[in-house]
A = this chain, B = another copy of it.
């Protein structure tokens, strides 16, 4: 399996664990390193494995873990670091995510996840709408 395929497989495993509310699987996706970071939609950044995994515990073991799926994945490999840009589909919401992986001990492990809400499909797209913030 080449690097790009291996990174996409790691990304699929992230969403499998997410959709299945598989906390042990989610734990295994993430790098076993103190410096991991995570930005859930609308949240401030979480820093450190303890904070990040605590957030997944709250989300996955909460009353309504989200029915999430991923599509449109593209992987970008830069040596021993790689990232995937993809869409997350949660019911009628669509987000755009970056999932950043590092090659650690021969396996691609997540070091950062960030999902950003996209403007509603009926809203105008392009520079006009989001320019208020950027």
Contacts and interface: CB of A to CB of B under 8 A. Distances in A.
A131 B64 contact: yes
B55 A85 contact: no
A32 interface: no
Interface of A: 35, 37, 39-45, 47, 55, 58-59, 62, 64, 66, 68, 74, 76, 78-81, 83, 85, 90, 93, 95-96, 98, 100, 102, 111-112, 114-119, 125-127, 129-134
17 contacts: A37-B76, A39-B116, A40-B134, A41-B130, A41-B133, A43-B125, A66-B131, A66-B132, A66-B133, A80-B81, A83-B100, A93-B132, A93-B133, A95-B133, A114-B116, A116-B117, A117-B117
A102 to B, nearest CB: 5
Contacts of A98: 37, 39, 98, 100, 112, 114
Given A39-B98, A83-B112, 15 more contacts: A39-B96, A42-B116, A42-B117, A42-B133, A43-B119, A44-B125, A55-B127, A59-B131, A64-B131, A66-B134, A98-B98, A98-B100, A98-B112, A115-B116, A116-B117
